[in-house]
Amino acid sequence: MMLHIPQVLTAEQVARCKDVMVRAGWVDGNITAGHQAGRVKNNLQLPEDSAEARELGEMVRGAVMRHPMFMSAVLPLQLYPPMFNRYDAGMTFGEHIDNAIRTHPVQPVRVRTDVSSTLFISSPDDYDGGELVVEDTYGSHSVKLPAGDLVIYPATSLHHVTPITRGSRIGCFFWTQSMIRDVSHRTMLFDLDMAIIGLTRDVPDHPSLPALTGHYHNLLRQWAEM
């Protein structure tokens, strides 16, 4: 399931990101790439342990963990700290799949990357090219979103970023280990949650609501890994 979640960051938070990033020291993005991805990756990144990456990463983490749509669609167990990258003209990231397991840079845990997230910080007017293209069983999906918007997709997907032909594209990306490992289970829970929310809105006193809501929680209890 691929999902666009609008306005995860406010305009003020996007401005703060841009402000910090202008002064930040960027390094070659290959430092965090796996072997295959490293061969096709050509971009810049904020060092994971820099003060800038930590500050902005905490801001993004707080924003997504408060966002009801992200919580419902991802059912997060563990977030790998958000990272920030920049593509200038000519830069690109060829076809790859993200590494399955990441060692958390601070806590003594490993994170299984179930869900990939890309948060757009540059406005689409700031650059040409730079689409995130994600392959799934229904074909190829090209994504370029307004500043502050997020897209999530299964980390099992092949994906790439098309070459930048003008300007710079700044973004944030991170992975989440979900309580629900199986993407089809995760999608079913999300669909059921959205249907219950819709029914609650349209027919608040519907007599089947308690049973439906209970069914959601019983499925979550059945499938969740903690």
Question: Is the Cβ of residue 98 or residue 128 nearer to Ni ion in the bound state?
Answer: 98
For residues 4-23, which are near Ni ion according to CB under 5 A?
none
Pull the structure tokens for residue 149. Answer: 């918007």
Question: Is the Cβ of residue 98 or residue 135 nearer to Ni ion in the bound state?
Answer: 98
Task: Name the minimum Å distance from CB 161 to Ni ion.
Answer: 8
d(CA 69, CA 59): 17
Q: How many residues bind Ni ion (CB under 5 A)?
A: 1
Question: Is the Cβ of residue 2 or residue 15 nearer to Ni ion in the bound state?
Answer: 2
Pull the structure tokens for residue 113. Answer: 């990357």
Task: Name the minimum Å distance from CB 132 to Ni ion.
Answer: 9
d(CA 169, CA 190): 31
d(CA 125, CA 135): 25
Task: Name the minimum Å distance from CB 159 to Ni ion.
Answer: 6
Which of helix, strand or coil describes residue 96?
strand
Pull the structure tokens for residue 220. Answer: 């979550």
- Which one of 20-28, 61-69, 94-102, 122-130 is the stretch in contact with Ni ion (CB under 5 A)? 94-102
d(CA 37, CA 31): 11
Task: Name the minimum Å distance from CB 96 to Ni ion.
Answer: 6
Is residue 98 a contact point for Ni ion (CB under 5 A)? Answer: yes
For residues 174-193, which are near Ni ion according to CB under 5 A?
none
Length of the chain: 226
Point out which residues bind Ni ion (CB under 5 A): 98
